[in-house]
Structure 1
Amino acid sequence: MKKKYLGIIYIVLSAFCFALMNMFVRLSGDLPSVQKSFFRNLVALVFAFAILKKDRVWFSGKRENIKYLFLRSAAGTVGILCNYYAIDRMVLSDASMLNKMSPFFVIIFSFFILKEKIKPPQILIVAGAFLGSLLIIRPTAHIFQSPAALVGLLGGLTAGLAYTYVRLLGEKGEKGPFVVFTFSTFSCVVTLPFLIFQYHAMSAMQLVYLLFAGLCAAGGQFSITAAYFHAPAREISVYDYSQIVFSALLGFFVFGQIPDVLSWMGYAVICVMAVLMFLYNNRGKDEGRTHA
């Protein structure tokens, strides 16, 4: 139980860190998403390298893991770019909510990649979460003229794919800091050419905001890794949705943003689906205890 409570604390801490990251990204102003992503990952790269050097934990040596590290890094990079694009063009809590569709996409990708069975209640819950996202996206005939919401949803999808590969890499013996290091290095290398040719001059304050965003991102990455180290995902993943509350509060106090009624309805639906998924995943465990 102590480990479970520690896991809850860590995952709430990670949610707060990621909400702060989104806030600092928004505060950094009108800069390309690629430029923001580079500085965000550069800070995480330095932190991950320092931990790897201190603990002397590097690549496991399993050649089959190389392709999974690549796929995790590619999906994660796309997810960050989409998320930052949405953050700059949407209400902060809306963008965060769409990004938090990732746990549901993990279930879908786990079926195809990890060969995990999806039961009918899980399919219904995932469908309910998607319907909740439609309240935020509010698709109309003109949706393709303002694609920020769809890009945000794509960010949630690719983040879900990335987390699926994180789970796979963990099962195959890779350590969390090395996965973070590989992902951060890949993202920096991919975005560097765009940064060189399309660099936008930044003020000292913008640079400070991006460095703070990177610090918060690093805190979020390592906190969520620690959370899943202390407790299984099915017991604590629902607490990751506390980021919605943090983002809504930061959006209100820092940017004066007030989500409309449909957005709040979307938040409520997705959060309810998250709780239902949490209860369903723990049902079998509780029944096992009862029979025991």
Structure 2
Amino acid sequence: MKLIQKTNFTFTMKQKGILLMLLSALLFSAMQIVINLTGDLPLMEQVFFRNIVSVLLCYPILKRKGLSIFGEKHQQPLLFMRSGFGLLGLVSLFYAASRANQADITILSKLSPFLVTLFAYLFLKEKIARIQIPALIIAFGGAFLVANPAFQSNLFPLFMAFLCAIFSGITFTLLAYSKDKADVITVIMHFSSFCVAVSIPFMVMNFVVPDLKEFVFLTLIGLFGSFGQIALTYAYRMAPASEVSIYNYSGIVFSMIMGYFILGEAISHTSFLGGALVVLASLLTYRYSPQDAN
């Protein structure tokens, strides 16, 4: 009788961070597809549902673990900064996506990983490997080809999309800085509760009762967004921001594939080429960046 020898495979912290970033990108792409299907529901109503689901998911987890719901007193300045910039990024993205050409919004909002690497270098003193510079350029070029932007939208929504990239870059950098300073679920609970509290007054003034299909879509937005946020937050806890942020570009490829199969959006030759460049940049970064000890 043959004995089957089992091989134990363990992931490094960096590999876990990469996988979580890819999962986060997939979930956020799924969320954006559902947003496209929700119709003309008010922006702040979508923001509310996006975050109330997170609150309902995080609260029992924190209670079971016996952790602080909103963080300790000395953590509040950092948590409020993260929550404030996160809300600004969320609102600006929703605003831009409903008022401008989607290709333009994609290319501008996907500047955030590049900004994360820059902010991590400037403020967190994280080193940038030589390969990351050309890899970022390749990834940005791939994002440009996938988005295939026409830049024919009104200026203000495009400006809001660029602000989204800036706010997201600051938020992700704060996530990296808050490593080991607050529990991941506490950070998400703080952010989601902050977004819910701010969105309620605006939602009440312009509330639209969703039908059953719209309610299901709103719930899915909350679920995809919540689990995407959890994966994203853990990704920045597992590895340096400058090493994992580039994998956020995979969301463009995920959106391209889901857009084709779910929304019937055509995939151009430039999209295939851009997707290949994004994958190439990710492989270059993974293969030639300094390896973590973990």
Residue 2 of structure 1: SS of its match in structure 2? Answer: coil
Match of 1:153 in 2: 162
Q: Is structure 2 residue 89 aligned with structure 1 residue 79? A: yes
Amino acid corresponding to residue 179 of structure 1 in structure 2: V
2:265 is equivalent to residue 254 of structure 1: no
Partner Cα distance (2:230, 2:43) in 1: 23
Q: Is the 8 A contact 1:11 1:227 kept in 2?
A: yes
Are 2:16 and 1:11 equivalent residues in the alignment?
A: no
Per-residue displacement from partner, 1:163-200 (whole Å, max 9, x unpaired)?
A: 111111125x1111010001001111111111111223
Residues 116 and 225 (structure 1), Cα distance of their counterparts in 2 relative to 1, 3 Å cut:
closer
Provide the residue aligned with 1:50 in structure 2. Answer: 60
SS in 2 for 1:170: coil
Question: Following superposition of structure 1 onto structure 2, how do residues 32-71 of structure 1 map, counting pairs within 5 Å?
Answer: 32-58=42-68, 61=72, 63=74, 65-71=75-81
Q: TM-score, normalised by structure 1?
A: 0.79
SS for the counterpart of 1:3 is coil
- 2:214 counterpart residue number: 206
Deviation at residue 212 of structure 1 after TM alignment = 1.0
The residue type equivalent to 1:145 in the other structure is N
SS of the residue corresponding to residue 57 of structure 1 reads: coil
Q: Distance in 2 between matches of 1:168 and 1:229?
A: 9
Q: What RMSD, in angstroms, separates the aligned Cα atoms of the two structures?
A: 3.4
Change (3 A) 1:83 1:259: farther
Q: 1:43 to 1:253 in 2, by over 3 A?
A: same
Structure 1, unpaired ranges of 5+: none
- Counterpart CA distance in 2 for 1:179 and 1:252 is 34
Distance 1:49 1:277 in 2: 37
Q: Which AA in structure 1 matches 2:40? A: D
Deviates more, 1:107-116 or 1:129-138: 129-138
Task: Pick from 160, 163, 175 the counterpart of residue 183 of structure 2.
Answer: 175
Share of identical aligned residues, percent?
32
> Is the CA contact 2:18–2:244 (under 8 Å) kept in the aligned structure 1?
yes
Q: 1:161 to 1:18 in 2, by over 3 A?
A: same
Give deviations 1:113-168, integer Å, cap 9, x for gaps. 3344667875665566556666647475xx56265454333322211110111111
Shift, 1:255, TM fit: 1.1
2:6 corresponding residue in structure 1? none
* Structure 2 residue corresponding to 1:29, chosen from 39, 64, 86: 39
Q: Is the 8 Å Cα contact of residues 79 and 154 (structure 1) preserved in structure 2?
A: yes
Structure 2 stretches of 5 or more lacking a match?
1-8
Count residues in correspondence.
281
Which structure features the higher share of helix residues? Answer: 1
1:77, CA displacement in angstroms? 0.9
2:281 counterpart of 1:242:
no
Q: 1:230 to 1:216 in 2, by over 3 A?
A: same
Is the deviation greater in 231-240 or in 179-188? 231-240
Q: For 1:245 and 1:82, locate their aligned partners in 2 and report how far apart those are by CA, in whole Å.
A: 22
Distance in 1 of aligned mates of 2:221 and 2:291:
38
Residue deviations 1:240-280, cap 9 Å, x none? 43322221111111111125455555555555555545455
For residue 236 of structure 1, report the CA deviation from its aligned partner. 4.8
Do the aligned partners of 1:3 and 1:230 also contact (CA within 8 Å) in 2?
no
Query: Counterpart amino acid of 2:202?
Result: F
- Equivalent runs, 1:66-145 vs 2, <5 Å: 66-88=76-98, 95=105, 98-116=108-126, 136=147, 138=149, 143=152, 145=154
Aligned: 1:189 with 2:197? yes
